[in-house]
Amino acid sequence: MPKAALRSILPVVGLAPDGADTVTFTGGIDPVLPTPFRVGIAGSATVAATGLAVSDLWELRTGRKQSVGVDLRHAAASLRSGHYMKLGEGEVSHRRNSIMGVYPTKDGRWSYLHCNFPNHRAAALSVLGVAEDRDAVAKAVLNWNALDLEEAIIAAKGAGGMVRTKAEWAQHPQSAAVASLPLMEVIRIGEAPVEPLPPGKRPLSGIRVLDLTRVLAGPTCARTLAEHGADVLKIPAPHLPNLGYQEFDTGHGKLSAYLDLREQRDMDILQGLVRDADVFSQGYRPGTLGGRGLSPEELTKLRPGLVYVSLCAFSHAGPWASRRGFDTVVQTVSGITSRQAEVVPGKTKGPQFYPVSAIDYCTGYLMAFGAMVALKRRATEGGSWLVRISLAQVGKWIVDLGEVPESAARDAPAEFLPEELERWSMVSDTPSGKLRHLRPTVGLSETPPFWARPSVPLGYSKPEWPERSAG
């Protein structure tokens, strides 16, 4: 079954589907966790796609292929890798804000409020007219119809949504827009000469990646490129909110430098970094970076041959193209949380999230896969390239993989075995202390993945490129 899922990915970017037959999958089948959705298959197939892209780049360097292997259970664990971190002797908290969650509404439906970031929390509270108190929020939500609240919070620049069934989502115009698109796109958007891979001993040695993404999906893309030798420079901004713990999870292998793109001086620094970059990865809503000199067309003009990776929540098409969204929001509006609750009811009444962040992490793996496909094309045929994907497109793909039997989903264990987690884990020395975390997931016969740098705090590094690594 993972091979079938992988065969559905490869042709989307012009690769032969029989490449899936060269991958060895171990670790059994779904369900590995209590959910009807095939999250083990989704995780292992997207991880395998990155492995095949790495193998292609290695063959381009050396003339040698290498074998690719993926443990389905390890891949599923990687879809909530933030849960398996320990800093020193303490756990790294991944607790959500207390008012974030799902609430019943006046019309007998449910509304999800995404409130982890303070700006989105403030937007929801301003619409509801209450203080930051869960009971007060619950009472206020009961005064609203779910659809009206969804629109009001979005208009206030918040995030969330009305809980829909899969059937209801299928009738929504945004669902139709997403259904009209492939899983992802790798598009040639400009002319540039052939650019061979830089010298080096690893598949992505010498490749420079600018990471202007946040939360999980986009940062997972850059983390994945780093584990195969790329030099990654993450560019956060000091004024933007962050959750802290996620940076430990997605920061492996990266440098991190603050730039405030509202300031011309910092914008000039960023454009200088772009001129020497190979990949620019961004996760802002369509059009947000346009007019600021950071659109695909503008940056590939500044740096011909650039691979521009673009992520958003609901795709570049349809009435929700500019809408804010996260993995949990996509789950909510597309029928995933309602279906999860039908099959595996939670401790509390109402819709339930599945037990991993499958959309986020699978999207990140696919972004990295697309970036490496584009880098190979740049090295063989030239050109500037756009890799375009959204959380909603990946969510649809996961749903389309089908479901496991309901009884099997309900009976699946809630956690992996301690000896499995021990086998999949490693310890890194970080500026914040010894960090225990999951190791890279994909298995490669000649170039086993590893991170050459530990996770660092946001803004820890200077906004400059290191010497191109040949190691």
Token digits for 65? 């292929």
In the chain, % of residues over pLDDT 70: 96
- Compute the average pLDDT of residues 336-344: 96
The residues that bridge with 188 in the sheet, in sequence order, are 385
Comparing 101 with 165, which gets the higher pLDDT? 165
The two structure tokens encoding residue 373:
């496909």
pLDDT bin (cut points 50, 70, 90) of residue 471 is low
Residue-by-residue DSSP string for 242-305:
--SHHHHHH-TTEEE----TTSHHHHHHHHHHHHT-SEEEE-SPTTSSTTTT-SHHHHHHHSTT
Residue 166 has what pLDDT?
A: 96
- Whether pLDDT at 14 is above 90: yes
The pLDDT of residue 436 is above 70: yes
Residues 261 and 270: their CA atoms lie apart, in Å, by: 8
pLDDT in tens, 281-338: 998 767 666 567 899 999 999 999 999 999 999 999 999 998 988 999 999 999 999 9
Burial class for 204, CB neighbours closer than 10 Å (0-12, 13-18, 19+): buried
Q: What is the pLDDT of residue 276?
A: 97
- Give pLDDT, residue 94: 65
> Cβ distance 210 to 236 under 8 Å?
no
- For residue range 114-133, list pLDDT tens digits in order: 988 888 898 889 989 999 99
Q: Supply the pLDDT for residue 468.
A: 79
Amino acid identity of residue 256, one-letter, is S
- Among 30-44, 211-225, 275-289, 356-370, name the one with the lowest average pLDDT: 275-289
In this predicted structure, what is the pLDDT of residue 95?
Answer: 67
Within 13 Å and on the Cβ side, how many CA atoms surround 104?
A: 8
The CA distances from residue 408 to 4, 35, 321, in Å, are 21, 9, 36
Q: What is the pLDDT of residue 470?
A: 62
Can you say how many angstroms the Cα of residue 331 is from the centroid of all Cα atoms in its chain?
A: 14
Instruction: Compute the distance between CA of residue 260 and CA of residue 270 in angstroms, rounded to an integer.
Output: 10
CB of 68 within 8 A of CB of 442? yes
Q: How many of the other CB atoms lie within 10 Å of CB of 190?
A: 19
SS3 90: strand
Among residues 256, 247, 266, 151, which one has the least CA distance to residue 209?
A: 256
- Whole-number pLDDT of residue 33: 98
Residue 392 to residue 44: CA distance in whole angstroms: 19
- Which pLDDT does position 237 carry in this prediction? 87
Q: What is the pLDDT of residue 291?
A: 63
pLDDT at 242 over 80: no
Over range 211-224, report the average pLDDT: 94
Report residue 94: phi and psi, to 5°. -125, 30
Helix/strand/coil (H/E/C) assignment for every residue in 163-175: CCCHHHHHCCHHH
Query: Whole-angstrom Cα distance, residue 294 to residue 4?
Result: 37
Per-chain mean pLDDT for the chain: 93
Angle, helices 118-128/134-141, rounded to nearest 10 degrees: 50
CA distance 272 to 405: 54
- How far does the chain reach from its first CA to its final CA, in angstroms? 36
DSSP state of 31: -
Question: What's the token pair of residue 232?
Answer: 């990654």
Tell me the pTM. Answer: 0.96
Q: What is the pLDDT of residue 93?
A: 64
- Cβ–Cβ < 8 Å for 118, 158: no
Q: What is the pLDDT of residues 354-377, one digit of tens each?
A: 999 999 999 999 999 999 999 999
Q: For residue 461, which phi and psi values (nearest 5 degrees)?
A: -105, 170
88-98: average pLDDT: 71
Q: Determine the average pLDDT of the residues in 267-285.
A: 93
Task: Name the amino acid, one letter, at 239.
Answer: H
More confident residue, 324 or 191: 191
DSSP 111-126: EEE--SSHHHHHHHHH
Domains and CATH numbers, the chain: 101-177+325-343 (3.30.1540)
Asked whether the predicted pLDDT for residue 233 surpasses 90, the reply is yes
pLDDT at 288: 66
Q: Above 90 in pLDDT, residue 410?
A: yes
Say what the pLDDT of residue 119 is.
83
Give pLDDT, residue 449.
98
The whole-number pLDDT of residue 117 equals 81
Percent helix, strand, coil in the chain, to 5, is: 40, 15, 45
Angle ∠(305,310,316) on CA atoms, nearest 5:
125
**CA–CA dist 314, 394 (Å, integer):** 10
Pick the most confident of 178-182, 261-265, 347-351: 178-182
